Structure 1
Amino acid sequence: MEFRTLRAFVEVVRQGGFSQAAKAVFTTQSTVSKAVKQLEDEIGLPLFDRIGHRSVMTAAGEIVYQRGIKLLADRDDLLAELDEIRGLNRGVLRLGLPSVGSSTLFAPLLAIYRQRHPGIEIRLVEHGSTELEEILRAGDIDVAGMLAPTSQEFDWQPVRREPLVVLLPADHPLGERSSLSLADLKDLPFILFDGGFALHRLVLERSRKAGFEPTIAAESSQTDFMVELVGAGMGVTFLPRMLAAQSPHPAVREVLLGEPNMAWVMCVAWRRSGYLSDAAKAWLELVREVHQSAIDKPGRD
């Protein structure tokens, strides 16, 4: 059943005749008559009892008219809602953000986004980068902030590149160095983000590449707690320099991690083959606008 033929029939009833209906839908009386006849042929029942120059609805016509009004109204509502979504007056942004770094990098963006698009509902998920990657892959979120992914399933936009620093107890002899390699730290216990964080995986992979399996003294998802553990002499940890500067501790010293091609690269990522809503596209446009001078993607065209 086509909406075109249904609308022609409904207008004949509303306007009280075929010629009046033709004027209402900006077409000819012949076109309206053909549309109603096509609808009758499709249904297999007459919709009008034609008595002389008058047309009276049949029982089937009454049913089609009542249902048709609702169908056409629902169609108009659907198109109106889609227009609102296209205009970003309504919609949903399903956004994943990392537990580390979001307050600095993404909170200001969320404030701008909310100001520009107050009708968009923001559904926020917070996890480490490794977990966010899995959630994004499953299609449960549209866009995620995470450390630059290596999977070709994703495309991504860089947001911030930060060198990594080593945090050591302030009285440790290695704290006098200007930079340290992972091999320099192989005999010290590591305090790492837990396994849901990409930085956990990165440190382990690069340590093994340097020829040793690190001793892990503790794992946590809380930056301040990890810094406190370092200050208590429990081991060393690794943070992006930006985050280390936000968590100063009198008993902790910061030294640059001098590993080549090992940095904290925060980005926003999305499934390369996935559908992006207008709300998600608006978020990506905002990220590009605010971080236009972000670093180039390493290793990518």
Structure 2
Amino acid sequence: LKYARSIQEQVQRMRHTFDAINGEEKGLLKIGITSNRGRIILSPVILDFRKIHPGIELKIVEDTNENLIQKLEKGVIDIGISDFSVGDTSMNVAPLYRERVAFYIGKKLFCETYGERQEEVFRRIQEGREHKLLEACPLLLGHEQDIAGKYARKFMKKSGIQPLIRAEAKNLALLMDLCVEGLGGCFCPDIIAAHVLTVEKRKKLIEITLGEEAEYEICIGWRDGWQVIDSFVTSARRRMNLIF
């Protein structure tokens, strides 16, 4: 199976070379990205890329972190944007930006949960890193195969939190809407929270930063063999450097 895939890749590279020689650049570029991030990250990168390569068709594949790494290894996708801390280190991988998960909870729910102690509890959590105190909050959790969901579970385990889960979903925008309405607290990357929360919604929430243990690199991984892939990677890294 690997041999057949290798032959197929060689044929595809030859076609790309002939197209480039003839000045008729075309082909299908398959880009994988974890859920919740495509709209935020890819839109400006794709617009930049299309100016340089208008003849290239793009296929966007959204999947879990683990599945994207597997698809990149097998050649199902050409490029993957994800957390590559676990995976095949022989792949081409470069950092794009650093993501930070924070804990968001409605001000009203926080008050109802801790009562007169709310200011003291907030200070102990935020400044004293007594994260175990968050155990009293009902939670809205991202899926365990999502990057943020995975790190939230690692964080809770390390902090000794036995969670009371009210809802679990892959869609973090949905969970943050429920968070604003007071259904529970939510672990969410700052880049996603900034994208989905309006000024009015943010006013209803308390944000608790969680320190370095809730930070990780989002990277771009890619396969060799096509100049168009290298061009997309360059566009992505340049655009992320401008944003972050």
TM-score by length of 2: 0.74
Q: CA RMSD in A?
A: 3.0
Stretches of structure 1 lacking an aligned partner (at least 5 in a row)? 1-77, 296-301
Residue number in structure 1 paired with 2:68:
132
Question: Does the 8 Å CA contact 1:181/1:258 hold for their aligned counterparts?
Answer: no
Change (3 A) 1:165 1:198: same
Post-superposition shift, 1:293?
6.9
The answer for the alignment partner of 2:214 in structure 1 is 262
Name the residue aligned to 2:18. 83
Looking at secondary structure, tell me which structure has more helix per residue.
2
Partner of 1:159: 96
Measure the CA separation in 2 of the matches of 1:193 and 1:82. 43
1:169–1:251 contact (8 Å) kept in structure 2: no
- Per chain length, whose mean CA-contact separation is higher, i.e. which structure has more relative contact order (CA < 8 Å, sep 6+)? 2
Matched ranges for 1:100-249 at <5 A: 100-153=36-89, 154-171=91-108, 172-173=110-111, 176=119, 177=122, 179=126, 182-246=131-195, 247-248=197-198, 249=201
Query: CA–CA distance in 2 between the matches of 1:289 and 1:251?
Result: 33
**1:87-137 CA-partner distances (Å, limit 9, x unpaired):** 781232111122213222221010111111011121211123333223223
- Residue 287 (1) aligns with residue 236 (2): yes
8 Å contact 1:132–1:144 — kept in the other structure?
yes
> Do the aligned partners of 1:162 and 1:265 also contact (CA within 8 Å) in 2?
yes
Q: 1:188 to 1:282 in 2, by over 3 A?
A: same
SS of 2:213's equivalent? Answer: coil
State the TM-score, normalized to the length of structure 1. 0.61
Q: C-alpha separation between the residues in 2 aligned to 1:156 and 1:182?
A: 33
Q: Offset at 1:152?
A: 4.2
Aligned match of 1:16: none
Instruction: Tell me: CA distance 1:250–1:289, structure 2 relative to 1, closer, same or farther (3 Å).
Output: closer
Task: Report percent identity of matched pairs.
Answer: 20
- What letter matches 2:164 in structure 1? T
Which structure's CA Rg is the greater one?
Answer: 1
